[in-house]
């Protein structure tokens, strides 16, 4: 923290209605790399969540009334400030979350890119004029901001999961209340400080930090003044929150868990597949919802792929994310570490083999070695669960239909990846995969211009792209009659 250029980016209380509000007691923010307490943040509760909603409700009419260009100017300033403080924001993110600094700075640029992109896209919220079946009538469609948006976000992308939602909401003319994950509120509060400096009016962007996830969650999902609820997190929590939203029939979008297949066909460029798999698997120590979860390799190339993959994975450097050259940081908590350890052990008990790693590392409490497993079956715990850790299970297959069936044999459908150079196969497989996003000969697919989201129990709604605005807009139909003289 001492090395930050701008220490006033570290805030210690919730940001509500343009004010830094106190709470009851404090939450310790722990660096997962070494267990140090890096800051304390006031613990807000139900009352503060209600205040934030009231502030967002009050700020809504004036924000909605601004032209898209006026909103874009303020958002552009916010974007510029995030980019000019990228180094500090990255450092704060690494300190509270653990990911390597280069990745953390990448996340800041990625999060900021949504603010820039949606600020511009907000100018293109076009309505429609529809040919009327009656000569004396005209049919028109307006798109209007839905109102107050409430969000709950996870710890794995403390900046970007907020930016992706807030950017679209604010560009559409909505006001916004977010409860960030308890482990990683500092990045959210730093965003609020920069929103404040950018001149985004009080009440438009609010951050409520509190450890009563359930209590605050109930307010955000059930309050009658919240029109839309958006969540990124586990499928289990998402399901409970959807149920809560039913009480007031809120518009809901959900970015939930995945179980991404990564398929390597025998005609693939194997070296490119190795690089793609590493990028999609080991980013953020495997703790992303689009991380490769199961690597399927066609029988005839499984030996070649595995040898090259193990060699490359073995070179990844694990350590404190602030240290030079580190590729993989700690997992977020000890519970996360025990979860990964158990998945590996249970799968080994069922016949899987660890060919690299497969153990915790003695450099802090939360470090797990980059791991590769072979002889894995699609029904083993490591293949059926979302791993959220640096473990690659390799499953071999013989034919295309078999692997599509195995890839789809899960309740979730967020991201999938495959490598092939056969154009017919590329179409067949891309169309056959029951996933919201498919990377073809590419392991990193997410950006502000593209629609991010899942099918099946991975959720609904899309973040990013022109489709991302729809989640924050209502369609209003106007029928103008009596045109005959």
Dihedral sign from CA coordinates of 224, 226, 232, 233: negative
137: number of Cβ within 10 Å: 13
Under the binding rule (CB under 6 A), the answer on residue 182 touching ligand ADP is: yes
CA atoms within 13 A on the CB side of 99: 25
CA nearest to 58, candidates 209, 204, 179: 204
Phi, psi at 422, each rounded to 5°: -95, 115
Work out how close the CB of 388 gets to ligand ADP at its nearest, in angstroms, rounded to a whole number. 8
Both tokens assigned to 193: 């400080």
240 part of the interface to ligand ADP, by CB under 6 A: yes
Query: Does 237 help bind ligand ADP (rule: CB under 6 A)?
Result: yes
- The answer to whether residues 347 and 354 touch, using CB atoms and an 8 Å cutoff, is no
| Pick 101 or 161: Cβ nearer ligand ADP | 161
Nearest residue by C-beta to ligand ADP? Answer: 217
Round to whole Å and give the CA distance between 302 and 291: 20
Residue 254 or 383 having the CB closest to ligand ADP: 254
What sign results for the dihedral spanned by CA atoms 443, 446, 451, 455?
Answer: positive
- Least Å distance between CB 381 and ligand ADP? 17
CB of 377 to ligand ADP, least distance (A): 25
| Annotation says 289 is catalytic | yes
Q: Output the smallest distance, CB 28 to ligand ADP, in A.
A: 15
Residue 158 in contact with ligand ADP, rule: CB under 6 A? no
Which of 173, 185, 210, 233 contacts ligand ADP by CB under 6 A? 233
Respond yes or no: is residue 291 known to be catalytic: no
Q: Does 222 bind ligand ADP (CB under 6 A)?
A: no
**Per DSSP, what are the bridge partners of residue 197?**
none
Sign (positive or negative) of CA dihedral 194, 88, 289, 243: negative
Q: Which of 116, 289, 291, 386 is catalytic?
A: 289
Q: Does 32 bind ligand ADP (CB under 6 A)?
A: no
| CA gap 280, 300 in Å, rounded | 23
Could you say whether residue 217 binds ligand ADP (CB under 6 A)?
yes
Residue from 4, 109, 202, 213 that binds ligand ADP (CB under 6 A)? 213
Element (H, E) at 170: helix 160-172
Q: Which of 103, 255, 386, 400 is catalytic?
A: 255
Q: Per rule CB under 6 A, is residue 214 in the interface with ligand ADP?
A: yes
Q: Which is nearer to ligand ADP, 214 or 315 (CB)?
A: 214
Nearer to ligand ADP, 240 or 455 (CB): 240
Whose CA is closest to 265, among 430, 421, 444?
A: 421
Query: What residues are annotated to the active site?
Result: 255, 289
Binding site for ligand ADP (CB under 6 A): 152-154, 181-182, 213-214, 217, 233-234, 237, 240
């Amino acid at each position: 923290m001492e090395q930050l250029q701008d220490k006033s980016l570290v805030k210690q209380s919730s940001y509500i209605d343009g004010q830094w509000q106190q709470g009851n007691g404090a939450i310790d923010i722990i660096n997962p790399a070494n267990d140090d307490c890096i800051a304390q943040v006031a613990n807000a509760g139900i009352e503060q969540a209600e205040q934030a909603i009231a502030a967002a409700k009050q700020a809504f009419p004036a924000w909605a009334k601004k032209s898209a260009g006026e909103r874009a100017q303020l958002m552009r300033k916010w974007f510029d400030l995030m980019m000019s403080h990228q180094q500090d924001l990255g450092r704060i993110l690494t300190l509270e979350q653990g990911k390597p600094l280069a990745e953390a700075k990448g996340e800041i640029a990625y999060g900021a890119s949504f603010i820039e992109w949606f600020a511009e896209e907000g100018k293109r919220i076009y309505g429609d004029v529809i040919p009327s079946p009656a000569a004396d009538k005209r049919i028109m469609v307006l798109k209007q901001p839905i109102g107050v948006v409430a969000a709950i976000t996870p710890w794995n992308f403390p900046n970007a999961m907020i930016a992706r939602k807030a950017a679209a909401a604010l560009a559409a003319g909505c006001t916004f209340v977010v409860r960030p994950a308890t482990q990683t509120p500092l990045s959210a509060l730093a965003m609020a400080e920069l929103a404040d400096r950018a001149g985004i009016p009080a009440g438009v962007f609010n951050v409520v930090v509190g450890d009563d996830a359930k209590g605050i969650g109930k307010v955000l999902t059930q309050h009658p003044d919240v029109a839309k609820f958006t969540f990124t997190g586990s499928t289990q929590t998402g399901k409970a929150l959807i149920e809560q939203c039913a009480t007031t029939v809120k518009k809901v979008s959900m970015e939930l868990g995945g179980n991404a297949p990564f398929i390597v066909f025998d005609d693939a460029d194997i070296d490119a597949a190795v690089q793609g798999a590493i990028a999609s698997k080991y980013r953020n120590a495997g703790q992303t919802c689009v991380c490769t979860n199961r690597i399927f390799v066609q029988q005839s190339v499984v030996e070649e792929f595995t040898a090259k993959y193990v060699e490359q994975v073995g070179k990844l450097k694990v350590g404190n994310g602030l240290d030079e050259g580190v590729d993989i940081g700690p997992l977020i908590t000890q519970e996360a570490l025990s979860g990964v350890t158990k998945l590996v052990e249970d799968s080994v008990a069922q016949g899987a083999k660890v060919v690299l790693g497969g153990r915790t590392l003695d450099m802090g409490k939360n470090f797990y070695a980059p791991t590769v497993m072979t002889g894995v079956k699609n029904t083993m715990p490591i293949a059926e669960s979302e791993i959220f850790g640096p473990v690659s299970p390799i499953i071999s297959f013989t034919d295309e239909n078999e692997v599509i069936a195995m890839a789809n044999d899960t309740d979730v459908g967020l991201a999938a990846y495959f490598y092939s150079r056969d154009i017919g196969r590329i179409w067949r497989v891309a169309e056959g995969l029951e996933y919201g996003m498919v990377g073809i000969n590419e392991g990193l697919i997410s950006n502000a211009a593209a629609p991010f989201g899942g099918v099946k129990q991975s959720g609904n709604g899309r973040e990013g792209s022109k489709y991302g605005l729809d989640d924050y807009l209502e369609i209003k139909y106007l029928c103008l009659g009596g045109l005959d003289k």
